[in-house]
Amino acid sequence: MTTKAVIDLSACRHNLSVAKKAAPDSKCIAIIKASAYGHGMVNVAKALNDADAFGVARIGEAVQLREAGITLPILLLEGFFSEEELNLVREYNLDVVIHNETQIQLLEQSKSDSITIVIKVDSGMHRLGFEPKELKSISQRLGKCSGTNSVIKFMTHFSNADDKHDDKTLKQIDVFFQSIDKISVDEISIANSAGILGWPQSHATWNRPGIMLYGVSPFINGKAEDHNLKPVMTLSSQLISIKSVKKDETIGYGSTYICKKDMKIGIVAIGYGDGYPRHAKTGTPVLVNGKRCSLLGRVSMDMICVDLSEQPNSAINDPVVLWGEGLPIEEIAESSETIGYELLCGVTKRVEFIYNN
């Protein structure tokens, strides 16, 4: 009995090629933070040999990539937070996003050298980054504390790009370009997946595809197939019990589902202990033997219950797909009031990962 996540690395490479074709003049920083959105960071990095660089959030992730033999540039999207981390940045030859005053001071106090620095501009998300009016003095200070062959780049990040009808994205692009207007700038980076697929004005020297690499649409109500993206993770399990339950009996914890008629119920070996979302509602689609069924009642830690009324020939051990090939994760996300990103990141260690090249 196995609950497994099959990772299709060729689909991941295909999705990177979609990002490259959508913006042929840009290079790609493939974003593989959070264990490559739950897919396994080192395996994904090794598969994506067409990437121009990798992006991660934490220094530990970057060190792990270097120790696994990854030689492409690695950008730390949040930079470093102490002198020790700055030393690791040098030791492991990492590129850093600089977004706060403390980071500048740490650079000013350390010996000059040629770390690649990306200055983050806050163009309206108000999470990380410097105010546009601070940029001139900040780039001068950073120019002084870096070595002569270092490159200073500029980046920003979108807050609303997942909504194609929200003009905040165009405003952010405007703020960003105005803010660097009077500074000499070689390389810039703006677009995440939504920018790459939906906002061509944001294509720049470097794009930063994340979720699209894993075959998930970055847009609200979007579908992967609209963009020719292929799912990378297929999460599956098996039926471990089949029961007949009478009308008016209830299913699972809290007895939240009441049978409207005599029903055939399948029990599947997956639950929130594997990362299947506990908030998935009754009616969430599940594929049993490739056919759609509905989740019934609450998700338990190790099991879910599904309606087999339309599938009378099902048997114990039959395969069940929770998302991936044949069942877009976007549907499960919507039915659980979350996003595909969270579902992918949440698959737990108990699940067996199988990599297909």
Ligand X SMILES: *Cc1c(COP(=O)(O)O)cnc(C)c1O
Q: Please pick, among 20, 33, 153, 230, the residue that the annotation labels catalytic.
A: 33
CA angle 249, 251, 256 (to 5 degrees): 95
CA terminus-to-terminus distance, the chain: 24
Per CB under 6 A, the list member of 77, 121, 173, 333 interacting with ligand X is: 77
Q: Does 53 bind ligand X (CB under 6 A)?
A: no
Applying CB under 6 A, among 198, 210, 277, 297 the residue interacting with ligand X is 210
Binding segment for ligand X among 205-213, 222-230, 240-248, 255-263 (CB under 6 A)? 205-213
Active-site position among 21, 243, 247, 253: 253
Return the number of the residue (132 or 209) whose C-beta is nearest ligand X: 209
Query: Of the candidates 26, 179, 192, 234, which one interacts with ligand X according to CB under 6 A?
Result: 192
Out of 208, 227, 230, 298, the only residue in the binding site for ligand X (CB under 6 A) is 208
Among 5, 145, 211, 268, binds ligand X (CB under 6 A): 211
Burial class (CB in 10 A: 0-12, 13-18, 19+), 27: middle
**Ramachandran sector of residue 308 (left: φ over 0; alpha: ψ -120 to 50; beta: rest):** alpha
Q: In the annotation, is 291 catalytic?
A: no
Q: Which is nearer to ligand X, 157 or 298 (CB)?
A: 157
Residue range at the interface with ligand X (CB under 6 A); choices 1-9, 207-215, 284-292, 295-303: 207-215
Write down how long the chain is.
Answer: 357
Q: Which is nearer to ligand X, 5 or 77 (CB)?
A: 77
Q: What is the DSSP string of 200-233?
A: GGG--SEE---GGGGT---STT--GGGGT----E
At residue 66, φ and ψ (nearest 5 deg) are -60, -45
Contact 33, 58 (CB under 8 A): yes
Cβ count within 10 A of residue 201: 13
Whether 253 sits among the annotated catalytic residues: the reply is yes
Nearest residue to ligand X on Cβ basis: 210
- How far CA 8 is from CA of 13, 40, 354, 355, in Å, comes to 9, 12, 9, 6
Q: How far is the CB of 201 from ligand X (least distance, A)?
A: 16
Q: Looking at the annotation, which residues are catalytic?
A: 33, 253
Interface with ligand X (CB under 6 A): 31, 33, 77, 157, 192-194, 208-211, 218
